[in-house]
Copies of this chain bind each other. A is one copy, B any other.
Amino acid sequence: MANEALDLDRLSLNQMTTRNLSVREVADLCLRHKIKNIGLWREPVSKTGIRETARIMRDTGLHVSSLCRGGFFTAASEADRAERMDDNFRAVEEAAQLGADTLVLVCGGTLDRDLQKARRIVCEAVHKLSDFAKDNGVRLGVEPLHPMYTATRSVVVTLAQALLVVANLPPRLAGVVIDVYHVWWDPDLYAGIENARGRIFGFHICDWLDPMPDFVNGRGMMGDGYANIRRIRQAIDASGYSGPIEVEIFNQKIWEMEPNETIKLIKERWRDNV
C-alpha cells in the first residue's frame, strides 16, 4: 500500500480503545505520545466527574473530538422516550462542558418489529434534540451503525439514511459520524461520502475481522482485517473533511495490551493503513 504521509496531528484516541484507563490516565497517555485529540465516553467521564474531566482536558490541552454517546431514542413508551430525551439533554450539556466537537448519536434499535415506526421516532427525536444542542453550541453527529445492530442498537444503518435524518437541519448543527467498521461494506458508501460533504463531523477507524471474536467487542486493529481504511479515508478527505480521525477499537485482546504498546502499534498501523 502506498506510504502516504498522513499527519499524526489528526490522530485521536477514543478512550474505549484503552478502556481500562481512567480519564486522567488516558489523558497522560496521549500527552506522553504527543496525541492531540481524544474521544470521550460518558460512563468513564462520569466516574471521573464532568468538571474534573473538563479540567484535565484544559490542563493537558487535549482537544475533545467527540463525546460518545447520546441517542437510544426508541424506547417503547412515551414516558420512557421522554426519559431518554432528558438523558440526551444531559449529554448535550456534558458535550458543551467538555468542549467536544460533536455529540455522537447512536439512535436506538427497532420497536415492536416495526422498523418504520422506530425510524420515525429517531427523526423526531433528533430534530427535537437539535434545538437544545443549538442553544448549547453542540453539534450532533448521527452515526449509522452496522446493520447487524439494527435490532437493539440502531435502526439507522447506512450513511445515506443518516444523511436523511439530518437533511432538514442546518449543516453546521447536525451531521454524521462515519465509522469504517459500520459502513465499509456499503455499495453506496462512496456516493454517501460525497453527499455528506459539509456534514461529516467525525471519522472513526478500526478494522473488520472475520471470524469475528465477539459480536460487540470484536473489532480489529487497522491492518488486521478486511476493510480498505485508506480508500475510505481518502474519500472522506476528498469530501472536505480534515478533522480528527478517532481510533476506536472494542477488543478484549487490545484491552489486555500494555497501553504504551497499544499506542505504538496504532501509530505503526496508522502509517501503513490510514
- Residues of chain A touching chain B, judged by Cβ–Cβ distance below 8 Å, are 109-110, 113-115, 119, 146-148, 150-152, 157-158, 160-161, 184-187, 208, 210-212, 215, 225-228, 231
Contacts and interface: CB of A to CB of B under 8 A. Distances in A.
Contacts of A227: 113
A187 to B, nearest CB: 5
A157 B215 contact: no
A109 B215 CA distance: 19
A107 to B, nearest CB: 12
Contacts of A146: 147-148
B210 A187 contact: no
Given A147-B147, A148-B148, A227-B113, A119 B215 contact: no
Given A210-B152, A212-B215, A226-B110, A147 B186 contact: yes
Contacts of A110: 226
Nearest to A218: B215
Nearest to A215: B212
A235 to B, nearest CB: 12
The 4 A-B pairs at the shortest CB distance, nearest first, are namely A151-B210, A150-B185, A151-B226, A147-B185
A118 B148 CA distance: 22
B157 A228 contact: no
A119 B228 contact: no
A152 B212 CA distance: 11
A225 B151 contact: yes
Nearest to A147: B185
A161 to B, nearest CB: 5
A176 B225 CA distance: 29
A212 B215 CA distance: 8
Query: Which one of A113, A184, A186 has the highest number of Cβ atoms from chain B below 10 Å of its Cβ?
Result: A113
A148 B147 contact: yes
Contacts of A210: 109, 151-152
A250 to B, nearest CB: 15
Contact of A150 (B157, B158, B161, B226): B226
Contacts of A147: 146-148, 185-186
A228 B114 contact: yes
A12 B195 CA distance: 43
A273 to B, nearest CB: 10
A194 to B, nearest CB: 15
A34 to B, nearest CB: 29
A228 B115 contact: yes
